Amino acid sequence: MGQISSSVTDDVMTTARKAKKPGVNERFLAFLHLAPGMSGFIIFVVIPLIASIVISLYRWPLFGDPKFIGVDNYLRLFDGRTPVFGQILFNTALFAIGYTAANLIISTGLAVWLHSLPDWAPFFRVLFFVPVVTPMVANALVWRVILDDRGMINGMLAMLGITGPSWLGESGWAMFSMILMSLWQGVGYNIVVLAAGLNNINPSVLESARIDGTSAWSRFWTITFPMLSPSLFFCTIMTVIGAFKVFTQPYMLTKGGPGDATNTLVLFLYRSGFSYDQLGFASSLAWVLFVIVMLVTALQFVGQKHWVEYDA
């Protein structure tokens, strides 16, 4: 009887293995379904990445014959032949830090506030999210008019007897204006993400803390923040990456000025390739930017264990 049972079990296992093993037709169908997506990925991501590495090793004009120069394009950034590069790195880091910090503080505060207004929360979330889905160029043009020396802000200040600064013409104010416009454009995205995180917090936990007599500030730091930290971590990663890639704001608002006060890595990359006819140098800038973003992101992942609580 035991031998019969063992034989039946072996037959069942053999049949199961044969059923799990995909046939030729199934593999072909799987390949057909994957082919469009994989083709697009290879054509528009993999090939351009490989091409940009190759181009970065050449002195490659937009029109003319390329000349192989090895890693000279990379050395130009750090050996003093591109003195403006240090200023550009500083500008990009300053914008990334200022924008990320302000965005997270404002979006967290607004998300928590809206969470306490269940009836009006959907309306305000849509209202804050509208700038996110509107074209960046159009928004920048509107803000350029608002921040003009004779624009709306200075006009309102003049009515109060205050002489407004040159928002886009002075170094410190130009960077501040760029961050301000970017906050108006991007804070709504984080509000929606954080709102989803807040909705996943069990309200009975907060209610129990409230009954115990804890203050709203204490409830936020001991309950809300730990439970919201995974969403905050995601927002931090995405905001930092977006901040290091800033281009439209300086290009449309200040053209990188005054001087190089708001010149950023991507704006410098664009000008190097298409204004100064240095595609190889521009490609090397792109890879330097990639390494910087990768390192910053890696540091954030290393640091997450000190403040992100997935089991909260």
- Residue 209 scores a pLDDT above 90: no
pTM for the full predicted model? 0.86
Question: Using CA of residue 105, residue 107, residue 110, residue 114, what is the dihedral sign?
Answer: negative
Q: How far is residue 260's CA from residue 264's CA, in Å, rounded to a whole number?
A: 8
Question: How confident is the model at residue 11, as a pLDDT?
Answer: 55
Considering only residues 125 and 310, tell me which one the structure prediction assigns the higher pLDDT.
125
> Would you say residue 145 has pLDDT above 60?
yes
What would the pLDDT profile of 78-96 be if each residue is shown by its tens digit?
888 889 999 999 999 999 9
Alpha carbons 85 and 260: distance in angstroms, whole number? 10
pLDDT of residue 2: 47
In CATH, what class is 75-306?
Answer: mainly alpha
Quote the percentage of the chain above a pLDDT of 90: 55
- Range scoring the smallest mean pLDDT among 55-64, 97-106, 203-212: 203-212
Q: Label residue 163 by pLDDT band (50, 70, 90).
A: confident
Mean pLDDT of the chain: 88
* Per-residue pLDDT at 191: 95
pLDDT tens digits for range 30-62: 888 888 889 999 999 999 999 999 999 999 988
Looking at residue 8, its pLDDT comes to: 46
Q: Which of 221, 187, 195 is nearest to 206 (CA)?
A: 221
pLDDT of residue 294: 95
pLDDT tens-digit profile of 216-231? 888 889 888 999 999 9
Q: Are 215 and 282 in contact (CB under 8 A)?
A: no
User: Would you say residue 290 has pLDDT above 90?
Assistant: yes
Residues 6+ apart with CB under 8 A from 200: 227
Three-state SS sequence of the chain: CHHHHHHHHHHHHHHHHHHHCCCHHHHHHHHHHHHHHHHHHHHHHHHHHHHHHHHCCEECCCCCCCEECCCHHHHHHHCCCCCHHHHHHHHHHHHHHHHHHHHHHHHHHHHHHHHCCCCCHHHHHHHHHHHHHCCHHHHHHHHHHHCCCCCHHHHHHHHCCCCCCCCCCCHHHHHHHHHHHHHHHHHHHHHHHHHHHHHCCCHHHHHHHHHCCCCHHHHHHHHHHHHHHHHHHHHHHHHHHHHHCCCHHHHHHCCCCCCCCCCCHHHHHHHHHHCCCCHHHHHHHHHHHHHHHHHHHHHHHHHHHHCCCCCC
pLDDT-wise least confident of 86-100, 116-130, 186-200: 116-130
Domain boundaries, the chain: 2-55, 75-306
- Tell me what pLDDT residue 205 has: 85
